[in-house]
Amino acid sequence: MTPTNSQLLVTKTRLPQLPLGWVARPRLATKMSEALRHKLVLISAPAGYGKTTLAVEAVRALGKPIGWVSLDAADNTPALFLSYLVAALQHVVPGLAQPILHALQSPQPPPTNLLLTALVNSISAYDDDLGVVLDDYHLIESRAVHEAVAFLVEHLPPHAHLVVTSRSDPPLPLPRWRVRGDLAEIRADDLTFTAAEAAAFFKDAAGIALSEQDLATLESRTEGWIAGLKMAALSLQGKQDVSAFINAFSGSHHYVLDYLAEEVLNHQSPDVKEFLLETSVLERLSGPLCEAVTGRGDGHSMLHRLEMANLFISPLDDERHWYRYHQLFATILRNQLANAAPERVNVLHQRASAWYEGEGLAEEAIDHALLGGDAERAADILENAAPRILGQGRAPGLLGYLPKIPEPLTFSRPWLCIGFAWAALMANQQEQVPRMLARVDEALAGGPDRLSPASRANLPRSNGHVLSIRSFLAKAEGDTARAIRLSEEANRVLTGSDPEEALARAVNSLNLAACYQATGDVAKVIPFLGGLIAAGQKGGFPYAVLTAQASLAEIMLQLPLLDRASELCREAIAEGKRWGGVCTLPGTDLAYIVQGQIEYERNDLEGAADSLTKGIEVAEARLNWESALKGYLHMAELAQAQGNAESALAYLGRAENLGPWATAPVEVHRMPAWKARLALRRGDAITASDWARQQEAALPLFQVPNYEDEYAYLTLVRLSLAKSECHGLPTYLDRLARRAEEQARGATAIEALALKALALACLGESSAAVKALRHALSLAEPAGYVRTFVDEGAPIAGLLRKAIAGGIHVEYATRLLGAITPQPPGQLGQPTSPNLRAGPEALSERELEVLNLIAAGLSSKDIAAELFLAIGTVKKHTNNIFGKLGVQSRTQAVARAHERGLI
């Protein structure tokens, strides 16, 4: 789901304005320029030392692409922190790392380490210097966020920099980075005003001429503390005896701050002072928000007035719609408000909550309701907002409210408990789900009169959501039968037409489809996916449509209806481009990969390489590791088919590296069998045998496997064939083929029947072998299968020749036989096919077959017997080969064939 501006507060990623009265400090500008040669620049000092101003000045002066994030206490979840970090980078480099924002808005974002890896890769791909400032980092308390920042610093490329401003040293491995030279530090001693800077400030910015003695005294009393100097300048306005005022200063910074704040406030008019106190409850201020809180009608003009008076207020955007108070000043104001009118604090927060709710900003409304002591109102807002928050992929954010809402309020709202349960499920915190569902049951048992308005309104759909959540839990626990039963029941309950219920049905249908597919009963999946496509197109859910189309194409690939599968893939790819514009929508990655499988099966190796490559590119850009894993496995298969064992192993390695994070349990489960099968294809029976010995307990050979284990069992069969240990295989493979046909999985039936034919031939039962092959060919020919047979290599070639001799699918079998000609090693993306391997005049498939037998040392008589041809026909083919290759003898023909890569 693509993030929108409404989901992130844009002012947080905008460079703040330099304050009025700002004094240039060349020595610090130089220090910052030198510091930015390091990965991390830490500006650490107590409040009021000008950390933010220095960072703003440096960003403006250096002229490099440096993003900005104004952090606050709400940014303590990795998802929100990363969202603002990426948004800040995009403000200076448009489009950078956009897939990460897509992933963060998905219902179940990938693990944080994967997101960080993708972010580092995106930054590395940007050639010029790049940086980002994290302002007010001391507000971050989350260990997960600290770990994310540490990961970034460890892995940033040399041209990327992170600037952190903080009131205290963050819990990061600073000593290690200091020793390695990755850290530059700017401390309070660096930030304090020198005497010359203080003099320039009072003379140029404040318009006050101080004697050297007064400056020295003030500098000594404030220790160059910028906030203190600014407050002193305000307090000195209109003072007749400047020296006496300055000499009255004493004590620590905090006492000075309290004293100066009192002086500043006492010099304001009553209406300004009241405005300052009442709006101090706000983190950010705008004219309309201030008017709603104070009841005044001059919010914007008052904010402008405060800015002009330099009353510790800073604009957050160039248009000056939003402002914030200096945090220290705001703290003083809040303390003053709490002391002077404590009964007003809750009222002001409640007014702010009402304004934010009216603006559709639920989270801010909830926060102020909680600060205003109205937890019940916060729970009501959250209960209504939970579906929208979940729909925007912010499950961790929703869960963050769980400890903030008193349990009695949460547990008396079953609809809110359902929202928390969904959020826990999406955030991989399944241990919380049963407790929430138990509370739902308890609340519903109390009767509708005891429910909140939102829970009563959603009562008809609550049971459907509970059933759907329980279905997801059952599937995660491996109880597929129960998951199917619960999902089917949920769909019977969820019959409403509103968007939220339609979305719930769509999510439930995807789970149900996955359950049926896991059992191998793929035909039952089709109606659910078809319905999801129709609902998604009607409701405008493009991601649901693309995912369903690609998933349905996978099913068609198994039926096997390759033409329909390819059609669905093309539709998904076209719609993904139409909906996504220049930025292809996720969902097309799987469509590309399924299309690559179809092209591979039909022996279009060049097309397969292109489609699989595109699918992997989209999957990795969109952080869809399940599709990426599938893509790498099929690329390994393709590389092996081209004779490039080294590339095949490399692609398997990439797939294995995704393993711990990929959400593709079937493929991860099959990974060892993939490796064993490809080992067999390159003649490495030792590796395959080692794998088989490790699987003896889990995969007893003649047991009929469940659907997810079929790939591994068929790999064991191939190993037995390679060892000529074929007793019992025909009966076993017949059982697998029959079950696959009963479940409409023609692809598996074709594979099992082809292997059955090879097993029968191994046992010397030639007639039965040809009969089994006939059955396989009859299923495969309408779909245009090639590689299922070709990948079995020479053993299947002899059976194809016998089929041709017996008049069985002659044209199709002849085409398959021609495709079995060995191919030389090639590079992915540039596969070698028979047509591309010919000389000035292409050899026919039969001529290539004769040529390979010549190279094997067979005489014309032996070739005739092998191919069921007349000796005269063989001699004719041989003469044609000589002519096309420009040679005079068999020896020359074989040498020329090797030169051209024909054998």
For 623, list phi and psi in degrees, rounded to 5: 60, 35
For residue range 863-878, what is the model confidence (pLDDT) as tens digits? 876 665 667 677 778 8
For residue range 34-56, what is the model confidence (pLDDT) as tens digits? 998 899 999 988 777 888 989 99
For residue range 117-131, what is the model confidence (pLDDT) as tens digits? 889 999 998 888 899
Average pLDDT of span 274-295: 93
The answer to whether 733 and 755 are in contact (CB under 8 A) is yes
Task: Check whether 293 has a pLDDT greater than 90.
Answer: yes
Average pLDDT of span 773-784: 94
Strand partners, 165: 43
**What is the 3-state secondary structure of 730-776?**
HHHHHHHHHHHHHCCCHHHHHHHHHHHHHHHHHCCCHHHHHHHHHHH
Quote the tokens at residue 402: 């769980």
Task: Check whether 714 has a pLDDT greater than 50.
Answer: yes
- Preceding amide of 560 cis, omega within 30: yes
Task: Check whether 58 has a pLDDT greater than 80.
Answer: yes
pLDDT of 388: 74
Average pLDDT of span 726-737: 93
pLDDT-based confidence at residue 824 (cuts at 50, 70, 90): very low
For residue range 517-575, what is the model confidence (pLDDT) as tens digits? 777 878 788 888 887 787 777 766 676 788 889 989 999 998 889 999 999 999 988 88
Task: Check whether 252 has a pLDDT greater than 60.
Answer: no
pLDDT-based confidence at residue 803 (cuts at 50, 70, 90): very high
Question: Measured between alpha carbons, how far is 833 from 855 in angstroms, rounded to an integer?
Answer: 19
Residue 451 backbone zone (phi > 0: left; psi -120 to 50: alpha; other: beta): beta
Task: Check whether 441 has a pLDDT greater than 50.
Answer: yes
Alpha-carbon distance values, 190 to 45, 134, 676 (Å): 9, 19, 63
Helix (H) or strand (E) segment spanning residue 878: helix 871-885
Q: What is the CA radius of gyration of the chain?
A: 36
pLDDT of 584: 58
For residue range 476-490, what is the model confidence (pLDDT) as tens digits? 777 888 988 998 888
pLDDT of 1: 36
pLDDT-based confidence at residue 339 (cuts at 50, 70, 90): confident
For residue range 567-593, what is the model confidence (pLDDT) as tens digits? 999 998 888 877 655 445 556 889 999
pLDDT of 253: 42
pLDDT-based confidence at residue 500 (cuts at 50, 70, 90): low
Pairing state of beta strands 183-186 and 40-44? parallel
Identity of the residue numbered 172: L
pLDDT of 86: 93
Average pLDDT of span 776-800: 92
More confident residue, 228 or 640: 640
pLDDT-based confidence at residue 442 (cuts at 50, 70, 90): confident
Task: Check whether 860 has a pLDDT greater than 60.
Answer: yes
Task: Check whether 461 has a pLDDT greater than 70.
Answer: yes
Average pLDDT of span 742-753: 92
DSSP assignments along 198-225, one per residue: HHHIIIIIS-----HHHHHHHHHHHTT-
For residue range 409-432, what is the model confidence (pLDDT) as tens digits? 888 888 888 888 888 876 667 788
The answer to whether 302 and 268 are in contact (CB under 8 A) is no
Confidence (pTM): 0.56
Alpha-carbon distance values, 126 to 95, 719, 822 (Å): 11, 48, 43
Most confident of 219-228, 343-352, 408-417, 614-623: 343-352
pLDDT of 832: 32
Task: Check whether 291 has a pLDDT greater than 90.
Answer: yes
pLDDT-based confidence at residue 18 (cuts at 50, 70, 90): confident
Return the C-alpha torsion angle 357, 361, 362, 366, nearest 10.
Answer: -80
Question: Measured between alpha carbons, how far is 716 from 673 in angstroms, rounded to an integer?
Answer: 9
Identity of the residue numbered 187: R
For residue range 675-713, what is the model confidence (pLDDT) as tens digits? 899 998 888 888 888 888 887 777 777 777 778 788 889
Question: Measured between alpha carbons, how far is 877 from 642 in angstroms, rounded to an integer?
Answer: 26
Strand partners, 67: 132
Judged by DSSP in three states, 109 sits in: coil
How is the beta sheet containing 130-135 ordered, strand by strand?
Answer: 66-70, 130-135, 160-166, 40-44, 183-186
pLDDT of 224: 67
pLDDT of 836: 27
